[in-house]
Amino acid sequence: MRLLTIAKPAAAILGRRWQSTVQSTLTQPWLQQWFPTGITFAMAYGSGVFKQVGHVRNQNTMVDLIFAVEDPITWHEANIRANPTHYSGLASLGVEAVVKVHNLGAAKLYYNPYVTVDGMLIKYGVMSASDLLQDLDEWSSLYTSGRLHKPVHVITATDACKQAMEHNLKSAFTTACLLCPEHFDETQLFEAIASLSYSGDPRMVVGESKGKVASIVQGSFQGFRDLYSPYYDLTLNKHARNEYVTLDNVKKLPSNLLNQLRDAGWDATTIPSESVVRTALQAIVKQSAVTQSIKGVLTAGPVRAAVYAKEKLMKTFA
């Protein structure tokens, strides 16, 4: 019993040290050293950067990143020259083939996984700056915007992106309140927020660990509070949904979500039900998640894609 009491805080200290080390490494000078210029936004996210309860890091744990660039064609062309080993055989067909795959699907992301940079195993996705802003404002795919609902490490961002990120957080708060019971606490709120971008994602059935949403919230509870406390009263233990949800602020939700709500049966004269909101979210997420999974086979190559699939299956049945 004494050993268990000592081991838990020791593990927590190691987790905090790793998080601090990764975040202090991933800076703008680091980007400039290892990647071509033109990155206007960069973030690191996920279990490689933030603690998730039940997740144990090992040498195969990747640090996930997303970059936004002004001109994907120019950037990929420069990156293929500078970092040719980051790409699968698809790059041998030329930058046009890379960009064609890049633009497939609603998320419009091109991932290079299992890349070692500066001694760190990473997976980085590249998207255009305009597509990033569109997803933050409209929830066109809820792929990158959904990751930004959770605590992330922002390496660099333009003022326009920071403003869109604030709008994205407010939209996530309002939408999550629609999914919460009539009275809810912080944990219920944060789990509803964390679940938004997983609604309809097939990987939550096969490919992710059971209880992923709860583990994300438990591991980054203070981070969620820092992001969302401007939108609710911290002094209250319980919150009334009708204090935060009105028809007026529902109508201010991202345009793609509003379109999907209407398709799911919302008449725009009442506050949509939880089931209608979930149906609308699932319609957005499923399309982008399926396409990105298919694209992953092309952008990773068969060997790296097989390794990635194996790791996801291990998470599912762990």
Q: What is the pLDDT of residues 175-218, one digit of tens each?
A: 999 999 999 999 999 999 999 999 877 665 544 566 889 999 99
Model pLDDT, residue 203? 63
Please name which of 142, 84, 121 lies closest in space to residue 277, comparing C-alpha atoms: 142
Q: State the chain's maximal CA–CA distance in angstroms.
A: 60
Mean pLDDT of 115-119: 94
C-alpha count within 13 angstroms, C-beta hemisphere, residue 46: 15
| Contact present, 134 and 140 (Cβ < 8 Å) | yes
* pLDDT > 90 fraction of the chain, expressed in percent and rounded: 71
User: Where does the pLDDT of residue 287 fall: very low under 50, low under 70, confident under 90, or very high at 90 and above?
Assistant: confident
Model pLDDT, residue 58? 65
Rounded to whole angstroms, how far apart are CA atoms 179 and 98? 39
Q: Does residue 258 register a pLDDT over 90?
A: yes
Mean pLDDT of 127-153: 97
The tens digit of pLDDT for each residue in 29-84 reads: 999 999 999 999 999 999 888 888 777 776 668 899 999 999 999 999 999 999 99
Query: Between residues 78 and 317, which one has the greater pLDDT?
Result: 78
Model pLDDT, residue 15? 46
Mean pLDDT of 98-124: 94
Model pLDDT, residue 289? 87
DSSP code per residue over the chain: -HHHHHHHHHHHHHHHHHHHHHHHHSSHHHHHHHS-S-EEEEEEESTTTS--TT----TTPPEEEEEEES-HHHHHHHHHHH-GGGS-GGGGG-HHHHHHHHTSTTT--EEEEEEEETTEEEEEEEEEHHHHHHHHHH-SSSSHHHHTTS--EEEE--HHHHHHHHHHHHHHHHHHHHHS-SEE-HHHHHHHHHHGGGTT-GGGTTTS-TTHHHHHHHHTHHHHHHHHGGGS-TT-SSEEGGGT--HHHHTTS-HHHHHHHHHTT--SSSPPPHHHHHHHHHHHHHHHHHHHHHHHHHHH-HHHHHHHHHHHHHHHT-
Please name which of 128, 34, 46 lies closest in space to residue 86, comparing C-alpha atoms: 34
Model pLDDT, residue 268? 94
Strands 63-69 and 120-128, bridge-based pairing: parallel
